[in-house]
Structure 1
Amino acid sequence: MNWGHGIVLAIVGFVAIIMTMVVISVRMTGIELVTDDYYAQEIDYQNQIDRETFANQLDRQVIEFDGQSKTLLFDLPKGTEANLELFRPSDETLDQQIDFQVETDTRTSVSVAELKRGYWRVQLRWQENGVELYEEKKISI
């Protein structure tokens, strides 16, 4: 075999490997963006930073997780309307969204015992004194 045949075989082999990788990549399923409206959230990112900054300036921890009872505790003022998102990065079909209103002066609790074991992000949005706030906590159940 001469050099010409060797070079042709190397190029054909390289093209075959690249084409195989392309076909495998195209057929893959289960790869999703973190959110469906990724670009809209990217545009609103500075507002998100402001909400987090205001929440960090509070003199209390708003979200607490009790691992023993598998309960989320929220320290919010009475009358607050809040939106809670339970976000599972590995499987979007498990994500949950809960809207609730604080009706007592004590801490509001939400049970997460029915959630699948693993890593979760708890994302809370609420309004306090006319300012939108956001806090996130990472938990493992």
Structure 2
Amino acid sequence: MKSTDKNKSFTLWPYAIIAAMVLFMGYIAMFVYKAMNQDVDLVSKNYYEQEIQYQDHIEKVGRTVAAGDVAVNYNAEAHTILLQLPESFKGQPINGKINLFRPSDDQLDQEIPLQLGRDLSQLIETQKLEKGLWKVRVNFSAGNETYYNEKTIQIK
């Protein structure tokens, strides 16, 4: 009779180990399922068109550097930004726009037409702009060429 008592003893360890393994496999299966259903678009549908546009942008920046530095100076006391084009553009018809870009809040972005004075400068009031980081992007054309400059400023 003693041998039958040993066979009737019950332990939970094998069942606990099997349950833990089944739960772990279920977790991994759920993880794989979610990962496989994730939408990952590393390349846009019009990749080549965007690449050509980016190359045009690089050429604009290169032309701007070759023509001379476009100065963007922020004056905190006067609450103004002074934009100054180089003298190499004197006498040319210049059209363009100034984009005040706020990286943290696109609702605050502003676009201002480029209206240069005789000295190739423009003064922009900053009293209504929120304090913080801004990017001043100047996109303009002179003659048959297009130019681009970007400068980051901190409005205080």
TM-score by shorter chain over 0.5: yes
Equivalent residue in structure 1 for 2:63, among 21, 31, 54: 54
Alpha-carbon contact 1:52-1:135 (below 8 Å) kept: yes
- Return the alpha-carbon distance in structure 1 between the equivalents of residues 136 and 145 of structure 2: 20
Residue pair 1:119, 1:140 contacting (<8 A) in 2 also: yes
Q: Structure 2: give runs of 5+ residues left out of the alignment.
A: 1-12, 36-45
Report deviation, 1:15: 6.1
Q: Per the alignment, do residues 41 and 14 of structure 1 end up closer, same or farther by CA in structure 2, a change over 3 Å counting? A: same
Aligned equivalents of 1:42 and 1:66: distance in 2? 37
Is contact 1:85–1:96 with CA below 8 Å preserved after alignment?
Answer: yes
- Determine the C-alpha separation between the residues in 2 that align with 1:111 and 1:117: 13
Whether the aligned pair in 1 keeps the contact of 2:94 and 2:143 (CA below 8 Å) is no
Which residue of the other structure, out of 118, 135, 138, is the alignment partner of 1:121?
A: 135
Please point out which of 109, 119, 122 is paired with 1:105. Answer: 119
How many residues end up aligned between the 2 structures? Answer: 126
CA distance in 1, matches of 2:51, 2:133: 24
Task: Report the alpha carbon displacement of residue 68 of structure 1 after superposing the two structures with TM.
Answer: 2.8
Contact residue 86 and residue 121 of structure 1 kept, 8 A: yes
TM-score normalised by the chain length of structure 2: 0.65
Which residue pairs with 2:78 in the alignment?
Answer: 69
Q: Is the 8 A contact 2:136 2:152 kept in 1?
A: yes
Residue type at the aligned position of 2:75? D
- The amino acid of 2:63's aligned partner reads F
Query: How do residues 1-141 of structure 1 correspond to structure 2 at under 5 angstroms?
Result: 1-2=13-14, 3-13=17-27, 18=31, 41-76=50-85, 77=90, 79-105=93-119, 107-141=121-155
Query: Which stretches in structure 1 are left out of the alignment for 5+ residues?
Result: 23-37
Quick one: percent identity of the two aligned structures? 27
Q: What is the RMSD of the two structures over their aligned residues, measured on CA atoms?
A: 3.0
TM-score using structure 1 length: 0.71
CA distance, structure 1, for counterparts of residue 136 and residue 109 of structure 2: 10
Whole-Å separation in 2 of the counterparts to 1:103 and 1:123 = 19
CA spacing shift, 1:115–1:15, aligned 2, 3 Å: farther
